[in-house]
Amino acid sequence: MQTLLFVSAPLLPAVFGLLCGLAPAFRGRKARHAWVTLGLVAAFGLTLALCATGDGSVTLFTLGATIPIIARSDALSRLFAVLVSGMWLVAGVYSFGYLEHDSAPRRYFLFYFLTEGALLALCFAGTMVTMYLCFETMTLCSVALVLHNRTREAVAAGLKYLLYSIAGAMMGLFGIFYLTEHAAAAEFMPGGILTAETLRRDGGTLLWVLLVTLIGFGTKAGLFPMHGWLPTAHPAAPAPASAVLSGVIVKSGVLCVLRILYYVAGPEVFAGTWLQTVLLALALVTVFMGSMLALLENNLKKRLAYSTVSQISYILFGLFLCDAQAMSGALMHVWFHSILKTALFLCAGAILVQTGRAGVDGLTGVGKRMPVTLWCFTLAGVGLIGIPPLAGFLSKWYLARGALEGGLAVFSWLGPVVLLVSALLTAGYLLPVSTAAFFPGMGKDALATAFPRGEAGAAMRWPMLLLAALALLAGLWPAPLMRAVDAIVRPLL
């Protein structure tokens, strides 16, 4: 049964996408929406069913004579897979309203489903080679989402995304060649799989290999100095694609970093070395730099993209600390950031569709015409800042405490300081949008003239409301997520 689920969970979205994109029966809007909804719900259901089967692994086939392609279900894969399928469902429903007047919605859903399938396969990848193949497949499929509008800006952004992704993946592949050659087993294991001889003899080389590998996979997560694609690609894509790019796809880089660091090398190889110092410094530079660039940016979607650069490095900082409390905060922030940033991008998309304005300085008073959208934006923004009781506070609390109690010399105080400064900068680039939207000092007639259209349709409103409610619920009742995170952290640290 588990083998069947391992195969069907990633293949089912691909089948739905191919039929939606190629079958003439889905040219009609109602038939297409029904088919897409069925596919998204089925993918979510299959993912939950696979997660319910518990731990296990299956060798699907073998490349050549020595390279097994293994699917593996463990606590980490389940945490990411449920997130992927859940956010894909929410953003997919939102797409119905956003793409209502789009010229090629079938092409969009084709690659939307293909990307989901590749991401689910990546979540359940059981070896480095399997992970790499799924990672590259996901990149190639998601490029089409960035290119969807086919404008000059979108094509340039797609090419930049592709070049950065290929460069990062090649750096990751270099590491996989080395690490596979020196592994005692093929399948990921908590604590690492490298041979004792490699750890004893090649320690210095291993650290350099890990540096290249982690920066390579960190490219997808926007880690400095490989972050440049993110603020270009996300604004160019349609808003629901931007939402999953920023809320979900960047987490694929986090997942790969986690696998390499804790399931291939092991924390003992990494902790207390110069490599840990370098990566912690890169993470903090990225946190501060992303927040500053977001503060200076006027385009709303680009501002949110720079915010993602900063927020994902919160997660990486927690992973690089090699501390149980900090890792718990990082893994919680994987979920919290996904909920909050997906909500923010969906709200930004609704604003863009209804007003035609991309710049923050042109949105004064829009909250009076689109109160639901702007209240959802405000709740998600407050959560991203880290203000209780919304999601975002608890994960940042654990990250700061983990840094303070980790005893890593300068990082024990510098880390919390940078996180606090970044939170203040986050308030500086998100809250003014809400205050200007709700306190315009304009009359009703002036507002109606400035913003002739009100709220977006129900297909766009309900996903935003759902995510805003989740942001509050996750902050008030984090126990289920904390239990899932604890099941990951306990075997590792």
Contact predicate 391/471, CB 8 Å: yes
pLDDT bin (cut points 50, 70, 90) of residue 357 is confident
Report yes or no on 325 lying in a domain: yes
Q: What is the pLDDT of residue 448?
A: 58
276 found inside a domain: no
Give yes or no: residues 254 and 303 share one domain: no
Give the residue, 446 or 199, on which the prediction is more confident. Answer: 199
For residues 232 and 297, state if they share a domain. Answer: no
Q: Is 381 part of a structural domain of the chain?
A: yes
CA distances from 486 to 30, 192, 265, 270, 331 (A): 43, 19, 21, 21, 9
Domain match, 307 and 338 both: yes
246 and 331 together in one domain: no
User: Does residue 275 lie in a domain region?
Assistant: no
pLDDT band at 483 (very low <50, low <70, confident <90, very high): very high
pLDDT at residue number 356: 85
Q: Judge whether residue 130 has pLDDT over 90.
A: yes
What is the pLDDT at residue 235?
83
Reported as a single tens digit per residue, the pLDDT across 263-309 is: 999 998 888 899 999 999 999 999 999 999 999 999 999 999 999 99
Instruction: Using pLDDT thresholds of 50, 70 and 90, give the confidence band for residue 437.
Output: confident
Distance separating alpha carbons of residues 44 and 196, to the nearest angstrom:
41
Mean pLDDT in the chain? 92
Residue 286 sits in the same domain as residue 245: no
Q: Would the pLDDT of 1 be above 80?
A: no
- Residue at a domain's end among 270, 294, 325: 270
Q: What is the pTM of this model?
A: 0.95
From CA 432, how far away is CA 451, in angstroms rounded?
19
The number of beta carbons lying within 10 Å of the beta carbon of residue 3 is 13
Based on the fold, state whether residues 238 and 295 are members of the same structural domain: no
Identify the domain containing residue 456 by its residue range.
281-493
Residue 467 has pLDDT above 70, yes or no: yes
pLDDT tens-digit map of 384-412: 999 999 999 999 999 999 999 888 889 98
226 with 286, same domain: the answer is: no
Same domain, 226 and 307: no
Is the separation of the CB atoms in 254 and 312 below 8 Å?
Answer: yes
Domain boundary among 250, 270, 290: 270
Which is nearest to 46 in space by CA: 98, 1, 76, 91?
1
Query: Do residue 238 and residue 286 come from a single domain?
Result: no
Domain end call among 244, 270, 296 = 270
Q: For 246-258, what is the mean pLDDT?
A: 95
**Residue 363 pLDDT:** 86
Asked whether residue 201 carries a pLDDT value surpassing 90, the answer given is: no
**Per mean pLDDT, which range of 50-54, 115-119, 194-198, 462-466 is the poorest?**
194-198
Share of the chain above pLDDT 90, in %: 76
**Residue 278 CB: number of other CB atoms within 10 A?**
15
For residue 200, pLDDT over 80 is answered with no
What is the per-residue pLDDT for 442?
64
pLDDT band at 3; cut points 50, 70, 90: confident
Average pLDDT over residues 130-136: 96
Is there a single domain that holds both residue 297 and residue 194? Answer: no
Domain count, the chain: 2
Residue 297 located in a structural domain: yes
33 and 177 both lie in a single domain: yes
Same domain, 12 and 117: yes
Which stretches of 356-392 are DSSP H helices? Answer: 366-369, 371-385
Confidence of residue 205 (pLDDT cuts 50, 70, 90): confident
Residue 252 included in any domain: yes
Q: Whose CA is closest to 74, among 123, 9, 129, 118?
A: 123
In this prediction, residue 443 carries a pLDDT of 60
Q: Is 240 within a domain?
A: yes
For residues 310 and 160, what is the distance between their CA atoms, to the nearest angstrom? 20
Q: What is the pLDDT of residues 317-333, one digit of tens each?
A: 999 999 999 999 999 99
**Predicted local distance difference test score (pLDDT) of residue 103:** 87
User: Which sign, positive or negative, has the C-alpha torsion 344, 345, 349, 355?
Assistant: positive
Burial-class residue 103 by CB neighbours within 10 Å (0-12, 13-18, 19+). exposed
- Grade residue 447 by pLDDT with cuts at 50, 70 and 90: low
pLDDT of 450 above 80: no
Place of tokens 């998100």: 430
